């Protein structure tokens, strides 16, 4: 019986096994990024910028040049790289503590300047690496180690919606929020990444793909249950979909 | 080559272009604004990169990115902005990324003032970022020296794979002086950097990684010792200083930058009164020029540190002195630039007390 | 008759179980009779004959454990 491989893992990735917790969606997202960059022929000329969070060691996993940034600074680092090496494909990989808290200014301004980079934003509504503290994206009522009675609006404000925020920034070209909780959504997420990197290759400006993600350990759930929790609680507050698509407007013009 | 009269900040900007800066990332702050303003015109005109970042924090991180991608990079700021850059400088040093930082110093602490000051010596030589690292730092006294040091800083940064700082105070940034630096002078060429994360994996055949994270403490120690090796090489090779009338000096001033300019006059005035005064002018702040002190004659018995601060370099003088000379200090701070007469008066008073 | 098969890199598996639910023919489970080198309970195929080589399990696997092969007739591409 002859066989044909229809799915080979680790495209665009190194041999290293991920250090992520069992069931952490970082793994799925890394796989998609690697696949897209490999399939588009971009991986060998890419520079990825790792941020600070669970994915701090992303430089071990993507099979391309990598640059480690300080907490929140990845979009500024990516700006520096892309400005001097415009022919390379530059992406950042950031969690919600990194991008939506300490790094919000750098993310907004990279979008504002229309930097021709791609930000991969992994939103799991918590600070994972440091043990489960409240993030700007933590939901109201969600218990974390720094919101022991659940996030309260009066104390901490309502959760921050990044795609919505950036959709008002003139320089942003393409913003989409996706999920990876089942194969159908994984496929859609891959299409979103393809679109984002195609826009970068076409020099059409700034792209950001926000992934609704999970944190089984810090949420205190089994991996499958955490996917369900994300679907039932995060997606209603952070609706999936395209938040900005300037390429459509260019087509219509 | 002809001489041209230029404003300090602009001369330094032009020097950076001639030194081969591929990219400038900066932010407005008094008293160095003419530097980004000049570069906003001349960098694109020379096909180079200019970005006014959203903050000094963002700017130093853009430097880190572009430097890590193998470009020659420059940023400039003033004391409070340099304070913001400390995290980035620590990352640059820890990840071994070359860059040049121009610091046009002003009074502090906090928002301080906008007048010239030397109260960042500790920030420059000890570093305000975390960890054991050093920044190769120079303090020119006049614009020609500044221009020459800035041009030299780019290949020095590349050689050491470390940040290099050129620190002037606001006076040098704002003053106009004649300099020899032709617009038509050819830019220094930089070599290709095999270690850079520039998207060249396909051609290079191996991946490059720019990082400063070493979770294994033994590996981090090894890395720190490697960095120390570079700082030891700087201590060995980069001590720069000028000896002014020290061959027969009883009393020796120690002063840099604008304070040294003022002190030159004081040396002359005191010599006319028969007092044998000389000066050691550090040109490198790190490494501190210990060799200068070893070159002093037997007859020298006193050192007087002169600074526009409460006495930061004075601590380094105290350290290397090791009890050998009588030490004294004179300073003005807050942005006040002293008159030579004040220094002369201070020495006269000290001599009277000794008698 | 199986349409294909999956090849499992057992020692990469962390026993997270994300592959189990998406399987349209429900033939995946954790093999509680063993632990792998990492100390986790790895994945196994309960009824290989039912495999349709859809790749859903591989798409949901965060750890690159699964390779999917389709059976092809002799001589075809």
Write the pLDDT tens digit of every residue in A13-62: 999 999 999 999 999 999 999 999 999 999 999 999 999 999 999 999 99
Structure-model confidence comparison of residues B233 and C75, the more confident one: B233
Closest-CA residue in chain A for B50?
Answer: A83
Of C14, C53, C67, which is closest to A9 when you measure between CB atoms?
Answer: C67
Q: What is the pLDDT along chain B (355 residues), one digit of tens a residue?
A: 689 999 999 999 999 999 999 999 999 999 999 999 999 999 999 999 999 999 999 999 999 999 999 999 999 999 999 999 999 999 999 999 999 999 999 999 999 999 999 999 999 999 999 999 999 999 999 999 999 999 999 999 999 999 999 999 999 999 999 999 866 666 777 778 999 999 999 999 999 999 999 999 999 999 999 999 999 999 999 999 999 999 999 999 999 999 999 999 999 999 999 999 999 999 999 999 999 999 999 999 999 999 999 999 999 999 999 889 999 999 999 999 999 999 999 999 999 988 8
The set of chains that have 3 or more CB pairs under 8 A with B is A
Cβ B288 vs Cβ B134: under 8 Å = no
Maximum C-alpha span of chain A: 65
The enclosing domain of A120 has a CATH number of: 3.40.50.970
State how many domains chain C has.
1
Peptide bond into B287 cis (omega under 30): yes
Q: Model's pTM, two decimal places?
A: 0.95
Question: Which residues of A fall within a CB distance of 8 Å from C70?
Answer: 3-4, 6
- Cβ contact (<8 Å) for A6 and C62? no
- Measured CA to CA, the distance from residue A68 to residue B289 in angstroms comes to 35
Residue C74 belongs to some domain of the structure: no
Residue-wise pLDDT for A68-89, tens only, equals 999 999 999 999 999 999 999 9
Q: Inter-chain contact C70–A17, Cβ cutoff 8 Å?
A: no
* Separation in Å, CA B52 to CA A206, B25, B55: 18, 6, 8
Q: Tell me, what's the pLDDT at A72?
A: 97
Q: Tokens for C33, please give them.
A: 């009779």
CA B205 from chain centre, in angstroms, equals: 38
Q: Which one, of A83, A10, A43, A65, lies nearest residue A197 by Cα?
A: A43
In the prediction, which pLDDT does B185 show? 66
Would you state the structure tokens that stand for residue A154, as one six-digit string? 């009066």
pLDDT band at A248 (very low <50, low <70, confident <90, very high): confident
Residue A169: inside a domain, yes or no?
yes
The topology (CATH level 3) of B241-354 is Rossmann fold (3.40.50)
Burial class (CB in 10 A: 0-12, 13-18, 19+), A90: buried
3-state secondary structure at position B330? strand
Question: How much is the pLDDT for B188?
Answer: 72
CATH number of B4-237: 3.40.50.970
Are A68 and B55 in contact (CB < 8 Å)?
A: no
Same fold, B4-237 and B241-354: yes
Report CB contact under 8 Å: B68, A105: no
* Sole residue written with tokens 């940064």: B157
Q: What is the structure's pLDDT at B322?
A: 85
With an 8 Å Cβ cutoff, is A40 touching chain B?
Answer: no
Tell me if A114 is assigned to some domain. yes
Q: Provide the CB-side half-sphere exposure for A251 (13 A, CA).
A: 5
Cβ count near A184 (within 10 Å): 12
What pLDDT is stored for residue B189 in this prediction?
A: 73
Q: Is the pLDDT of residue A253 over 50?
A: no
Smallest CA–CA distance from A32 into chain C, residue: C59
- Domain of residue A67, residue span: 26-252
Q: Is residue C47 part of a domain?
A: yes
Whether C41 has its CB under 8 Å from any CB of chain A: the answer is no
A103 in Cβ contact with A96 (< 8 Å): no
Q: What CATH number does the domain containing C21 carry?
A: 3.30.70.20
Confidence grade of residue C75 (pLDDT, cut at 50, 70, 90): low
Q: Is C3 on the interface with A (CB under 8 A)?
A: no
Residue C1 has pLDDT above 90, yes or no: no
Please judge whether A65 and B212 are an interchain contact, meaning their C-beta atoms are less than 8 angstroms apart. Answer: no
Rounded to a whole number, what is the distance in Å from the CA of C27 to chain A's nearest CA? 16
The number of distinct structural domains making up chain A is 1
Question: What's the pLDDT tens digit per position in A132-184?
Answer: 999 999 999 999 999 999 999 999 999 999 999 999 999 999 999 999 999 99
Instruction: Specify the DSSP element, H or E, that contains B261.
Output: helix B257-272
Distance CA B91, CA A174 (A): 31
Contacts of B61 in chain A (CB under 8 A): 69-70, 73, 76-77, 80, 106
- B57:A80 CB<8 A: no
Q: Which chain B residues are within 8 Å of A51, Cβ to Cβ?
A: none
Chain B CB within 8 Å of residue A87 CB = yes
Q: What pLDDT does residue B192 have?
A: 85
Listed by start position, the domains of chain B span 4-237, 241-354
Instruction: Give the model's confidence band at A252: pLDDT under 50 very low, under 70 low, under 90 confident, else very high.
Output: low
Average pLDDT of chain A is 96
pLDDT at B190: 76
Residues of A with Cβ-Cβ distance to B69 under 8 angstroms:
47, 67, 80-81, 84-85, 88
Chains C and A touch (3+ CB pairs under 8 A): yes
- Which residue in chain A has the smallest CA separation from B58? A76
Which residues contact residue B330 at a Cβ distance below 8 angstroms, ignoring those fewer than 6 apart? B304, B305, B306, B338, B342, B343, B346
- For residue A87, give every residue at least 6 positions away whose Cβ sits within 8 Å of its Cβ, in sequence order, or none: A45, B199
Residue A79 to residue A81: CA distance in whole angstroms: 5
Q: Does B175 touch chain A (CB under 8 A)?
A: no
Tell me the mean pLDDT in the region A101-119.
Answer: 98
Cβ distance B55 to A66 less than 8 Å, yes or no, reads: no
- Chains that contact C by 3+ CB pairs under 8 Å? A
Closest residue in B to A91 (Cα–Cα) = B199
The CA distance from B52 to the nearest CA of chain A, in Å, is: 10
Among chain A residues, the shortest Cα distance to C13 is held by A22
For the residues of B16-44, what is the DSSP string, one character each? HHHHT--EEEE---TT-THHHHHHHHHHH
Q: Would you say residue C44 lies in a domain?
A: yes
Please check whether residue C17 lies inside any domain of the structure: yes
ipTM: 0.94
Tell me if chain A has a CB within 8 Å of the CB of C52.
no
CA distance C36 to chain A (A): 14
Chain A: closest CA distance from residue B73 (Å)? 9
What CA–CA distance (Å, rounded) separates A23 from A214? 8
**Rounded-to-10 torsion of CA A168, A172, A173, A176:** -70
pLDDT of residue B1: 64
Does A241 fall in a domain? yes
Does residue A154 belong to the interface with chain C, where contact is any CB pair within 8 Å?
A: no
The three-class DSSP label of residue B303 is strand
Q: Is residue A13 a part of any domain in this protein? A: no
CA–CA distance from A33 to each of A116, A149, A202, B7 (Å)? 17, 37, 18, 50
Q: Do A18 and C63 touch (CB under 8 A)?
A: yes
Considering the domain boundaries, does residue A8 fall inside one?
Answer: no
Domain interval for residue C26: 4-69
Could C73 and A2 be called an inter-chain contact, meaning their C-beta atoms sit closer than 8 Å? Answer: yes
């Amino acid at each position: 019986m002859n066989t044909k491989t229809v799915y080979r893992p680790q495209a665009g990735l190194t041999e290293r096994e991920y250090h992520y917790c069992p069931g952490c969606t970082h793994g799925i997202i890394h796989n998609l990024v690697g696949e897209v960059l490999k399939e588009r022929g971009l991986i060998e000329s890419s520079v990825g910028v790792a941020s600070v969070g669970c994915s701090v060691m992303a430089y071990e996993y993507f099979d391309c040049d990598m640059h480690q940034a300080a907490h929140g600074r990845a979009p500024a680092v990516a700006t520096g790289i892309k400005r001097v090496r415009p022919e390379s494909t530059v992406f950042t990989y950031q969690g919600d503590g990194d991008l939506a808290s300490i790094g919000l200014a750098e993310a907004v301004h990279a979008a504002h300047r229309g930097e021709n980079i791609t930000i991969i934003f992994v939103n799991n509504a918590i600070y994972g690496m440091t043990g489960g503290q409240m993030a700007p994206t933590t939901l109201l009522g969600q218990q974390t180690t720094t919101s022991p009675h659940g996030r309260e609006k009066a104390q901490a404000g309502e959760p921050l919606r990044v795609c919505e925020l950036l959709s008002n920034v003139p320089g942003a070209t393409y913003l989409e929020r996706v999920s990876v909780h089942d194969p159908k959504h994984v496929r859609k997420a891959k299409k979103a990444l393809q679109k984002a990197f195609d826009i970068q290759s076409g020099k059409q400006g700034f792209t950001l793909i926000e992934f609704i993600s999970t944190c089984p350990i810090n949420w205190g759930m089994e991996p499958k249950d955490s996917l369900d929790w994300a679907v039932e609680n995060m997606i209603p507050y952070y609706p999936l979909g395209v938040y900005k698509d300037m390429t459509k407007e260019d087509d219509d013009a | 080559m002809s001489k041209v009269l230029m404003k300090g900040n602009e001369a330094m900007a032009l020097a950076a272009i001639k030194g081969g800066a591929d990219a400038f990332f900066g932010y407005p702050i008094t008293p160095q604004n003419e530097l980004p303003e000049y570069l906003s015109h001349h960098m694109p005109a020379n096909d180079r990169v200019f970005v006014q970042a959203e903050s000094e924090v963002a700017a130093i991180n853009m430097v880190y990115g572009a430097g890590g991608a193998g470009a020659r990079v420059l940023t400039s700021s003033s004391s409070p902005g340099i304070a913001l850059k400390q995290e980035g400088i620590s990352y640059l040093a820890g990840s071994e990324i070359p860059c040049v930082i121009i610091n046009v110093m002003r009074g502090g602490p906090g928002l301080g003032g906008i007048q010239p000051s030397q109260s960042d010596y500790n920030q420059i030589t000890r570093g305000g970022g975390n960890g054991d690292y050093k920044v190769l730092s120079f303090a020119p006294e006049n614009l020609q020296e500044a221009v020459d040091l800035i041009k030299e800083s780019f290949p020095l940064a590349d050689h050491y794979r470390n940040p290099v700082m050129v620190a002037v105070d606001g006076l040098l940034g704002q003053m106009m002086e004649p300099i020899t630096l032709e617009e038509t002078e050819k830019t220094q060429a930089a070599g290709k950097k095999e270690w850079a994360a520039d998207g060249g994996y396909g051609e290079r055949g191996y991946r490059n990684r720019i990082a400063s994270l070493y979770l294994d403490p033994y590996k981090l120690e090894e890395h720190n010792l490697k960095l120390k090796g570079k700082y030891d090489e700087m201590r060995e090779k980069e001590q720069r200083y000028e000896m002014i009338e020290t061959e027969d000096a009883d009393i020796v001033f120690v002063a840099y930058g604008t304070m040294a300019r003022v002190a030159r006059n004081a040396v002359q005035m005191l010599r006319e009164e028969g007092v044998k005064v000389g000066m050691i002018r550090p040109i490198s702040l790190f490494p501190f020029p210990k060799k200068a002190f070893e070159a002093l004659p037997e007859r020298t018995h006193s050192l007087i540190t002169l600074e526009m601060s409460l006495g930061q370099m004075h601590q380094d003088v105290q350290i290397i002195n090791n009890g050998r000379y009588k030490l004294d200090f004179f300073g003005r701070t807050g942005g006040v630039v002293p008159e030579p007469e004040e220094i002369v008066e201070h020495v006269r008073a000290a001599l009277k007390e000794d008698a | 008759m199986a349409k294909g098969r999956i090849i499992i890199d057992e020692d990469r598996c962390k026993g997270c179980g994300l592959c189990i639910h998406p399987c349209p023919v429900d033939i995946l489970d954790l093999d509680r009779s063993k632990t792998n080198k990492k100390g986790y309970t790895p994945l196994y195929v309960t009824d290989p004959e039912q495999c349709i080589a859809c790749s859903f399990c591989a798409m949901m696997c965060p750890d690159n454990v699964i390779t999917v092969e389709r059976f092809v007739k002799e001589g075809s591409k």
